[in-house]
Amino acid sequence: MKILVPVKRVVDYNVKVRVKADQTGIDLANVKMSLNPFCEIAVEEAVRLKEAGIATEVVVISIGQTSAQEQLRTALALGADRAILLETELNLDSLQVAKLLAKVVATEQPQLVIIGKQAIDSDNNQTGQMLAALTGMGQGTFASKVVVADGKVAVTREIDGGLQTVSLNLPAVVSTDLRLNEPRYASLPNIMKAKKKPLEVVAADSFGVSLQSQVKTLKVAAPAVRQAGVMVDSVDALVAKLKQEAKVI
C-alpha cells in the first residue's frame, strides 16, 4: 500500500511573528521555518503504518518555493521513502493546493492520503476536505486513531460531543488531529540518509491547474494589545467593575 502525505513549510511555532509595516503579510526575513506540526503527525502515522508492515511506501509532497526542500528532507529523515516538490513562487490558496494534489493522486495512485488537518499559518482546515471531494475518496477528518485492515480504514474522529468512528473503503483521505500520535525526532544517521533519498522537483504550472488565486488578502494586523488586569479589594468592587466597566452583568 502506498501512502501520500502532503506537507507544508510554515513559520516555526516557537517564533513570534511580526507583521510587515504595510500590513500586506508576515515578515519572513531571517525567520526560522519548520514542518507544519500537523504535517509532522501525518508523516509519523504513515511511517508507523509502514513499520507495521501495512504500507510499503510513504511519499511526501509539498507545494511552494525551492526552500521547501528543507522540510521535505526533514520528512525523509523521519522515515518517508521519497519526496515530490511542486515548485512555484506563488502563494496558493487551499483550493489550488487541493487541485494540484488531486493531479498527483491521479498519477501516484496512493491507497491512503494522510494530511494534517490544518496549517498553523493560515489555519484554514480546508485542503483535506477539498481533496477528498475532488478525487471522490471517502474522508475521515480530525483523526485521533487510524486502523487499516481488510481494504478499509477505521478513523476515530474528535468531534464536539466526544469521539466518532467511521469506516472508509480505500482509497481514502484522512486528516490528522493533535492526539493521533507523538512525532519522533529525526536521528543524525537518518538525517544523513535523507540526503540520498529521491526528491523530485516538478513545476506546479505544468499540471494545467490555474494558479491565479481567488482569495485576496486585504490586510494583516497584529492582535490588539490586551489591557493589564487590576486587583480589587472586595467582591463589591469586583461586581461594580463588571457592571460599570466590563458591562457583562
Beta bridge partners of 138: 172
| The total number of structural domains that make up the chain | 1
Each residue's pLDDT, cut to its tens digit, for the chain (249 residues) gives 999 999 999 999 999 888 988 988 888 888 999 999 999 999 999 999 999 999 999 999 999 999 999 999 999 999 999 999 999 999 899 999 999 999 999 999 999 999 999 999 989 999 999 999 999 999 999 999 999 999 999 999 998 889 999 999 999 999 999 999 999 999 999 999 999 999 999 999 999 999 988 888 889 888 888 888 888 999 999 999 999 888 888
The C-alpha cell at 36 is 507544519
| Pairing outcome for strands 152-159 and 162-169 | antiparallel
Q: Are 67 and 14 in contact (CB under 8 A)?
A: no
- Collapse the DSSP code of 26 into the 3-class scheme (helix H, G, I; strand E, B; otherwise coil) and give the result: strand
Structural domain including 92 reads 2-246
CATH classification at residue 208: 3.40.50.620
Around 210, how many Cα atoms within 13 Å sit in the side-chain half-sphere?
A: 4
**Predicted local confidence at residue 213, as pLDDT:** 83
